[in-house]
């Protein structure tokens, strides 16, 4: 006999039943989703069976679950290590969250580009993040290793292990390291990371050895390993570096690639068009996604709600479609204000309410459903 389920698990199952009905509705054909279903784009998780459910079975299940829920206690045990995501009609997944430790002895700060780096000026711990998420109704996050911890991804790995139902993590590895593919395998297999971030933008103009590694012959081994592991790549990359990335995207069409922050295109430049068109041109590759993030740094005004950036957001939306856009912010709690970012709830509302041309279904996809599918969050 199965053990009794908690109130939270009953509710999650109840929500799952409803999601199955939604999933069975007729959708427009999406080549990216179709590729995932046929296995042509690999992600590191098992996909649920999406066959149509019998209506009578659904209604019987709903009624039995509802009766059981009514008899359960209305509180959950307080356990930070197993804290469940708030129940929502649709997930809200922040796909770009930087956290760092407040314990340099256990989690040092070996910054790879700054000598004698001691520690960040602000706190941004996972505890701050979880509180921020709970207050704002954010159900899940993808942690992205911050440069402060360098190539040591232990902290984000430990955070994801501590909150496995709500967090997944991307690490950083030295892209110029001859053993970069082996390092990725180590962090993914031994520490449970789901992908890697590559900050090509720091290697422009010959800095730190230059950016030739992006499409170097030996880099193909890294991408082949990503195919094998089901890794997701995200790139912090300048627009002028995108043609190099495009070569790898073309040669490895089953590796999901996420471009951070509109490729850091300066939308306030005198003529942003040449750079912006490079970002738009990447849309022809079905394995490329874009984060709607960092409008505070790429928009001309830099002021919430960044209405001056909406024409560019719309062009990205039209080029990539709503299925390949992702929501992301940056920092938890008080670190947001310190880095001049809006609050998490304001960032969520930007997608949920403010940007005018998204449909209600678009908003659900961008805020979480796309990320849930890409990273395999269990909802």
pLDDT of residue 89: 79
> Could you tell me if residue 85 is inside a domain?
no
Residues 59 and 158 in one domain: no
pLDDT of residue 91: 97
> Could you tell me if residue 216 is inside a domain?
yes
Condensed to tens digits (0 to 9), the pLDDT of residues 218-276 reads: 999 999 999 999 999 999 999 999 999 999 999 999 999 999 999 999 999 999 999 99
Domain boundary among 70, 101, 124: 70
pLDDT of residue 79: 41
Mean local confidence (pLDDT), 330-347 = 95
> Could you tell me if residue 78 is inside a domain?
no
Residues 16 and 121 in one domain: no
The pLDDT > 70 percentage for the chain reads: 77
Condensed to tens digits (0 to 9), the pLDDT of residues 65-76 reads: 444 434 333 333
Residues 60 and 117 in one domain: no
pLDDT of residue 308: 97
pLDDT of residue 361: 98
Residues 21 and 101 in one domain: no
Are the beta carbons of 264 and 238 closer than 8 angstroms? yes
Domain boundary among 70, 103, 119: 70
Residue matched to tokens 């990503």: 226
Residues 21 and 118 in one domain: no
Residues 56 and 153 in one domain: no
> Could you tell me if residue 1 is inside a domain?
no
pLDDT of residue 66: 42
Residues 44 and 138 in one domain: no
Which residues form the domain of 28?
Answer: 7-70
- List the CATH number of the domain containing 319: 3.20.20.140
Residues 41 and 148 in one domain: no
Inform me whether the pLDDT recorded for 368 exceeds 70.
yes
Mean local confidence (pLDDT), 359-373 = 98
> Could you tell me if residue 82 is inside a domain?
no
Distances (CA, A) of 275 to 38, 169, 183, 222: 34, 29, 32, 27
> Could you tell me if residue 301 is inside a domain?
yes
Residues 222 and 192 in one domain: yes
Residues 245 and 359 in one domain: yes
Confidence of residue 94 (pLDDT cuts 50, 70, 90): very high
Inform me whether the pLDDT recorded for 33 exceeds 70.
no
Inform me whether the pLDDT recorded for 38 exceeds 90.
no
> Could you tell me if residue 197 is inside a domain?
yes
Residues 63 and 126 in one domain: no
pLDDT of residue 346: 97
pLDDT of residue 83: 61
pLDDT of residue 138: 98
Condensed to tens digits (0 to 9), the pLDDT of residues 101-158 reads: 999 999 999 999 999 999 999 999 999 999 999 999 999 999 999 999 999 999 999 9
| Count of domains observed in the chain | 2
Residues 346 and 286 in one domain: yes
> Could you tell me if residue 79 is inside a domain?
no
């Amino acid at each position: 006999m199965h053990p009794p389920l908690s109130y939270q698990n009953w509710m999650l199952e109840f929500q799952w039943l409803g999601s199955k009905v939604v999933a069975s509705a007729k959708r427009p054909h999406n080549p990216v989703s179709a590729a995932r279903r046929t296995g042509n784009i690999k992600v590191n998780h098992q996909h649920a069976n999406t066959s149509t459910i019998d209506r009578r079975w659904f209604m019987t299940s709903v009624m039995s679950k509802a009766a059981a829920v009514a008899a359960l206690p209305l509180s959950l045990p307080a356990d930070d290590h197993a804290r469940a995501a708030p129940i929502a009609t649709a997930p809200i997944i922040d796909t770009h969250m930087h956290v760092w430790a407040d314990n340099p002895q256990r989690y040092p700060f070996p910054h790879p580009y700054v000598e004698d780096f001691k520690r960040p000026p602000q706190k941004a711990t996972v505890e701050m993040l979880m509180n921020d998420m709970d207050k704002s109704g954010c159900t899940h996050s993808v942690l992205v290793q911050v440069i402060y911890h360098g190539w040591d991804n232990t902290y984000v790995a430990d955070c994801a292990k501590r909150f496995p139902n709500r967090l997944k993590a991307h690490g950083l590895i030295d892209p110029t390291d001859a053993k970069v593919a082996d390092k990725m395998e180590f962090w993914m297999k031994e520490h449970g990371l789901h992908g890697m971030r590559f900050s090509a933008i720091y290697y422009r103009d010959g800095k730190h050895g230059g950016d030739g590694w992006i499409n170097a012959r030996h880099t193909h081994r890294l991408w082949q390993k990503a195919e094998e592991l089901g890794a997701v790549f995200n790139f912090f990359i300048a627009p002028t570096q995108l043609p190099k990335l495009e070569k790898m995207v073309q040669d490895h069409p089953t590796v999901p690639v996420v471009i951070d922050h509109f490729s850091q295109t300066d939308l306030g430049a005198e003529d942003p068009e040449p750079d912006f068109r490079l970002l738009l041109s990447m849309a022809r590759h079905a394995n490329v996604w874009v984060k709607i993030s960092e409008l505070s740094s790429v928009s001309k005004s830099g002021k919430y709600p960044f209405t001056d950036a909406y024409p560019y957001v719309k062009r990205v939306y039209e080029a990539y479609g709503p299925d390949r856009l992702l929501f992301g912010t940056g920092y938890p709690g008080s670190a947001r204000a310190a880095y001049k970012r809006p609050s998490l709830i304001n960032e969520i509302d930007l997608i949920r309410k403010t940007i005018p041309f998204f449909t209600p279904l678009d908003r659900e996809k961008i805020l979480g459903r796309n990320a849930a599918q890409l990273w395999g969050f269990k909802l």
